């Protein structure tokens, strides 16, 4: 009998209130259950939630609710990554305080998230811009200082000329600032760094143990850390007391050296430039050159002959020392020996300046006497030649020999070099965590003592001039030195916001504790069992958090190394893009599709060109507002669609048809339960002793679905879970009960369906659970268990191939004997026709899979 349509507008808020009233999702203390810490990357409060958030939290909530149903004590918290530049930009544009802007946004977004019906423990909510959070971060900073993990470095930094702040290497994307997009300049500044390089080896090695991380992310981190084994060699300089140190991984090619090159930022270059105007002009030119891809691609190798000579350690040759634009100060020692025959850059340089090219690695099939390198450096393997005592050795043997000899001579050491740099954390910004340090003329650098924490941000700041408002503030920076009481000055820089997100997952374990974290709570909940977020954080946030955890371990706060045991990186939500006749981007709501598929603008009817589906972005106007979707279709529909169409790790294309389909399924499930209701036995009725064949078929479908969905959720194949639930719904929908036992099976099927759907569409599940006569919450119901006997089919369909071509399908008992299978296969008419006059050469039977008859 027909029931009313399921009214999600009324039901969703009702169940949200029911969960809240029951405190269903507040994580309790350790009880007998195993724990599961499920976390999605916390959002930046930019203003409103977007579809990426919806996808992220739909997945996280699925995992959290599933784990709860499986009997885990679940921690599933939410917070706000609330410091950052957009708040200051808003302050400038709208004359509103960054704090005000941020807290307003948090209120809006919290409200939006609550309409999604997520199983979050809101009692643990934190915001990184709150002094109750950042005071602990300041404490940790001073602890890191004590532990020698913080350095103050005068260094060449990446300077964003638009945001007027320093950027970490990780924040320079293609030579441009990751936020402003402005070409990054080089600037020498004194700033605070975290000594992440001290952990480079460990951070790289431990990646192998992160088995539940995507290989891709592990590889990206590994490449980012960029370990390379080589040696540091010191060359004597003719006529000088000091030496020139270079880093190389190709010491086997030492006899191929024909010049030396140092970076324009090398101290020796600076020294020589002081009385050489031409050289200082050359250095200035180099620094003006950008670091973007295009510039580097086109840039010519340029050098300046300093007139100095380095002495070859083995044959005493004098090698010209150049200042060269392609040598990086930040890598190795900022100096190289040039071996043109075996390095393309060195070769380009040598050809430009007419320097000698000595091949010293000879390919297997080439002859030492005739092998020449002309346009292309030889980077392959071979035997060493033209190299005195190294002649005839392999590359590896030669490396060893050179290293051993140089070490004996005191001219070199074997070493490991990393691409990874220390993490510069000073930012010349207002809306961040103040660095708890005071500069005193007499005492030097003094950390702010614990009893003076937090160093709070002043409220009365102005944003009317460029640069750092904290520095402009009339009084804030002037303080008494905690050590001598004299006049001193606060550090006016704030911490990179990536520091805020490097430990928030620890704070969630004891969010209101007086200390940064409670060791017992952290010990119980950590590590995060399942972390979910976008790949864009593969190196930045995830690497910093791994470092931070190790640093905290050194300071005695935690006793583990890795914060995230399981990581899942979800794909983006994309949408088709539309461009109107005038070349202007149009919103999806501004276009319509004709019956024949052509797209035109609603206003004016002009032809619209459709672009490929891309990540939703305001600039391309291909954005769908989740709030509108939830209002129109409900949270369950939005969540179901997010999980349906694509594998979670891949991009998901948002389509109106897809959402409409998801919504139809919501209504169909509700209708199915309503229609069956009147004839069902009471909940918990005893299982009948016997079932009809139809009932057994249904029960088998039910238990296979339970088994399959469970496996798919565990493996993060949510789209397959969805497909299986559809299959089950089809089976239940097509079932017509004839007797009481059938109706028992029907209830079993409907209840299983509700419980399987519960982690994905929790409101609908609660509603149906209630309609089915249960007093408790579906959120508290245990996960259904598959009966193994019903999962396995008695009769299977076996394919029969003749010479690898499928010719017939046999219905046969599972685990039938080989003889029976062979006989049945050969008895088939189609098989006989395919064999024809030919004779059977071989008969392959793969039990329960396939039969292949080879004839000839």
> How many Cβ atoms from other residues are within 10 Å of residue 18's Cβ?
15
Stretch that binds RNA, among 40-48, 157-165, 356-364, 647-655 (CB under 7 A): 647-655
Residue 823 Cβ, how far from RNA at the closest point, in Å?
A: 19
| Sole residue written with tokens 């949270």 | 635
Strands (E) in 441-540, as ranges, are: 444-447, 478-480, 487-490, 494-495, 530-534
Q: Does residue 297 touch RNA according to CB under 7 A?
A: yes
Q: Does residue 263 touch RNA according to CB under 7 A?
A: yes
List C-alpha distances in Å: 45 to 100, 538, 548, 629, 636. 12, 21, 23, 20, 23
* 3-state secondary structure at position 781: coil
> How many Cβ atoms from other residues are within 10 Å of residue 520's Cβ?
12
Nearer to RNA, 823 or 846 (CB): 846
**β-pair partners for 718:** none
Q: Which positions from 814 through 833 interact with RNA, judged by CB under 7 A?
A: 830, 833
> How many Cβ atoms from other residues are within 10 Å of residue 722's Cβ?
21
Nearer to RNA, 100 or 228 (CB): 228
- Of 447, 427, 429, 428, residue with least CA distance to 437: 447
Q: Does residue 7 touch RNA according to CB under 7 A?
A: no
For β-strands 165-167 and 150-160, DSSP reports them as antiparallel
Stretch that binds RNA, among 50-58, 133-141, 226-234, 628-636 (CB under 7 A): 226-234
Q: Which positions from 156 through 185 interact with RNA, judged by CB under 7 A?
A: 169, 173
Q: Does residue 14 touch RNA according to CB under 7 A?
A: no
Residue 67 makes CB contacts below 8 A (sequence gap 6+) with: 36, 38, 74, 529
Rounded Cα–Cα distance for residues 791 and 783 (Å): 17
Q: Does residue 661 touch RNA according to CB under 7 A?
A: yes
Q: Which positions from 731 through 750 interact with RNA, judged by CB under 7 A?
A: 733-734
Q: Does residue 809 touch RNA according to CB under 7 A?
A: yes
Stretch that binds RNA, among 200-208, 224-232, 494-502, 505-513 (CB under 7 A): 224-232
- Of 784, 766, 761, residue with least CA distance to 19: 766
Q: Does residue 717 touch RNA according to CB under 7 A?
A: yes
Q: Which positions from 748 through 767 interact with RNA, judged by CB under 7 A?
A: none
Site string for RNA, 329-358 (x = CB under 7 A): xxxx-x-x------x-x-------------
Q: Does residue 653 touch RNA according to CB under 7 A?
A: yes
Q: Does residue 844 touch RNA according to CB under 7 A?
A: yes
- Of 616, 554, 626, 564, residue with least CA distance to 585: 616
Position among 137, 158, 570, 644 found at the interface with RNA (CB under 7 A): 644
Q: Which positions from 403 through 442 interact with RNA, judged by CB under 7 A?
A: 417, 419
Nearer to RNA, 1 or 21 (CB): 1
Q: Does residue 223 touch RNA according to CB under 7 A?
A: yes
Residue 54 Cβ, how far from RNA at the closest point, in Å?
A: 16
Position among 293, 396, 456, 460 found at the interface with RNA (CB under 7 A): 293
Packing angle, helices 762-771 and 740-757, rounded to 10? 150
Stretch that binds RNA, among 189-197, 395-403, 769-777, 846-854 (CB under 7 A): 846-854
Residue 59 Cβ, how far from RNA at the closest point, in Å?
A: 14
Q: What is the largest CA-CA distance in the chain?
A: 108
Alpha helices in 410-536 (DSSP H): 469-472, 497-500, 504-507, 519-525
Position among 89, 100, 180, 291 found at the interface with RNA (CB under 7 A): 291
Site string for RNA, 454-483 (x = CB under 7 A): ------------------------------
Q: Which positions from 24 through 63 interact with RNA, judged by CB under 7 A?
A: none
Stretch that binds RNA, among 66-74, 248-256, 676-684, 751-759 (CB under 7 A): 248-256
* 3-state secondary structure at position 130: coil
Rounded Cα–Cα distance for residues 703 and 627 (Å): 37
Site string for RNA, 530-569 (x = CB under 7 A): -----xx-xx------------------------------
Nearer to RNA, 465 or 805 (CB): 805
Q: Does residue 494 touch RNA according to CB under 7 A?
A: no
Q: Does residue 201 touch RNA according to CB under 7 A?
A: no
Please count the residues of this chain forming the interface with RNA, following the rule CB under 7 A: 89
> How many Cβ atoms from other residues are within 10 Å of residue 772's Cβ?
17
Residue 47 Cβ, how far from RNA at the closest point, in Å?
A: 24
Q: Does residue 803 touch RNA according to CB under 7 A?
A: yes
Alpha helices in 481-606 (DSSP H): 497-500, 504-507, 519-525, 540-554
**β-pair partners for 822:** none
For β-strands 840-846 and 850-855, DSSP reports them as antiparallel
- Of 492, 443, 489, 449, residue with least CA distance to 470: 492
**β-pair partners for 415:** 230
Q: Does residue 4 touch RNA according to CB under 7 A?
A: no
Do 422 and 151 form a contact (C-beta atoms < 8 A)? yes
Q: Which positions from 440 through 459 interact with RNA, judged by CB under 7 A?
A: none
Residue 242 Cβ, how far from RNA at the closest point, in Å?
A: 19
Q: Does residue 854 touch RNA according to CB under 7 A?
A: yes
Position among 224, 314, 544, 633 found at the interface with RNA (CB under 7 A): 224
Rounded Cα–Cα distance for residues 578 and 60 (Å): 32
């Amino acid at each position: 009998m027909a029931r009313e349509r399921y009214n999600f507008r009324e039901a969703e808020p009702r169940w949200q209130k029911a969960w809240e009233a029951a405190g269903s999702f507040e994580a309790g203390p350790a009880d007998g259950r195993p724990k599961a810490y499920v976390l999605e990357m916390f959002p930046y409060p930019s203003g409103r939630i977007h579809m990426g958030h919806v996808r992220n939290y739909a997945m996280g909530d699925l995992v959290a609710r599933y784990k709860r149903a499986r009997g885990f004590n679940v921690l599933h918290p939410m917070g706000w990554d609330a410091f950052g530049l957009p708040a200051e930009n808003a302050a400038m544009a709208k004359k509103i305080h960054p704090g005000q802007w941020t807290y307003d946004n948090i209120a809006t977004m919290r409200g939006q998230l609550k309409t999604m019906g997520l199983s979050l423990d809101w009692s643990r909510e934190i915001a990184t811009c709150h002094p109750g959070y950042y005071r602990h971060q300041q404490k940790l900073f001073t602890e890191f200082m004590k532990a020698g993990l913080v350095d103050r470095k005068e260094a060449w930094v990446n300077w964003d000329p638009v945001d007027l702040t320093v950027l970490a290497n990780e924040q320079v994307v293609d030579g441009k600032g990751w936020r402003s997009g402005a070409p990054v300049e080089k600037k020498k500044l004194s700033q605070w760094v975290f000594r992440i390089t001290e952990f480079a080896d460990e951070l790289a090695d431990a990646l192998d143990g992160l088995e539940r991380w995507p290989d891709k992310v592990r590889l990206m981190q590994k490449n980012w850390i960029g370990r390379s084994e080589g040696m540091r060699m010191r060359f004597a300089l003719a006529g000088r007391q000091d030496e020139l140190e270079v880093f190389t991984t190709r010491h086997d090619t030492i006899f191929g050296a024909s010049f030396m090159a140092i970076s324009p930022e090398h101290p020796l270059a600076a020294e020589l430039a002081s009385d050489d105007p031409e050289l200082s002009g050359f250095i200035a030119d180099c620094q003006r050159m950008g670091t973007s891809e295009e510039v580097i691609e086109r840039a010519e190798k340029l050098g300046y002959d300093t007139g100095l000579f380095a002495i070859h350690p083995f044959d005493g040759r004098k090698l010209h020392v150049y200042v060269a634009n392609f040598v990086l100060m930040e890598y190795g020692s900022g100096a190289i020996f040039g071996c043109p025959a075996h390095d393309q850059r060195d070769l380009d340089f040598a050809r430009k300046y007419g320097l000698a090219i000595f091949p010293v690695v000879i390919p297997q099939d080439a002859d030492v006497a005739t092998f020449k390198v002309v346009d292309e450096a030889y980077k392959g393997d071979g035997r060493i030649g033209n190299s005195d005592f190294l002649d005839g050795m392999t590359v590896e043997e030669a490396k060893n020999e050179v290293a051993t000899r140089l070490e004996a001579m005191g001219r070199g050491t074997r070493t490991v070099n990393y691409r990874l740099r220390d993490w510069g954390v000073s930012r010349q910004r207002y809306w961040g965590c103040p660095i708890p340090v005071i500069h005193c003329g007499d005492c030097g650098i003094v950390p702010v003592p614990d009893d003076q924490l937090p160093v709070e941000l002043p409220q009365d700041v102005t944003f009317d001039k460029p640069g750092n408002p904290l520095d402009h503030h009339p009084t804030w920076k002037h303080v008494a030195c905690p050590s001598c009481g004299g006049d001193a000055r606060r550090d006016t820089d704030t911490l990179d916001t990536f520091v805020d997100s490097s430990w928030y997952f620890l704070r969630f374990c004891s969010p209101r504790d007086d200390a940064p974290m409670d060791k017992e709570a952290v010990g119980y909940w950590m590590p995060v069992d399942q972390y979910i977020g976008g790949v864009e954080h593969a190196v930045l946030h995830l690497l910093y958090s791994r470092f931070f955890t190790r640093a905290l371990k050194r300071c005695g706060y935690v006793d583990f190394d890795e914060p995230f045991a399981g990581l899942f990186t979800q794909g983006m939500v994309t949408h088709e893009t539309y461009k109107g006749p005038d070349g202007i981007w149009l919103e999806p709501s501004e276009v319509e599709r004709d019956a024949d598929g052509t797209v035109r603008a609603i206003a004016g009817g002009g032809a619209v060109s459709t672009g490929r589906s891309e990540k939703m972005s305001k600039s391309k106007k291909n954005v769908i507002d989740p709030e509108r979707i939830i209002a129109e279709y409900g949270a369950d529909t939005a969540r179901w669609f997010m999980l349906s169409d694509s594998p979670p790790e891949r991009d998901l294309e948002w389509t109106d048809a897809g959402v409409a389909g998801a919504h139809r399924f919501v209504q169909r499930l509700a209708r199915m339960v309503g229609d069956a209701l009147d004839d069902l036995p009471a909940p918990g009725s005893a299982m009948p002793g016997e079932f009809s064949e139809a009932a057994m078929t249904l029960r088998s479908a039910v238990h296979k679905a339970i088994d399959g969905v469970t496996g798919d959720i565990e493996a993060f194949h949510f789209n397959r879970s969805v497909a299986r639930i559809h299959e089950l719904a089809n089976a239940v929908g097509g079932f017509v009960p004839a007797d009481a036992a059938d109706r028992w099976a029907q209830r079993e099927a409907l209840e299983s369906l509700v419980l399987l759907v519960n982690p994905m569409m929790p409101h609908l599940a609660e509603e149906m659970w209630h309609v089915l006569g249960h007093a408790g919450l579906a959120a508290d119901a245990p996960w259904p268990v598959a009966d193994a006997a019903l999962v396995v089919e008695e009769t299977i369909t076996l394919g029969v191939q003749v010479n690898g071509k499928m010719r017939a399908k046999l219905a046969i008992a599972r685990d039938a004997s080989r003889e029976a299978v062979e006989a049945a296969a050969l008895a088939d008419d189609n098989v006989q026709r395919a064999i024809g006059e030919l004779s059977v050469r071989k008969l392959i039977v793969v039990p329960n899979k396939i039969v292949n008859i080879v004839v000839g």
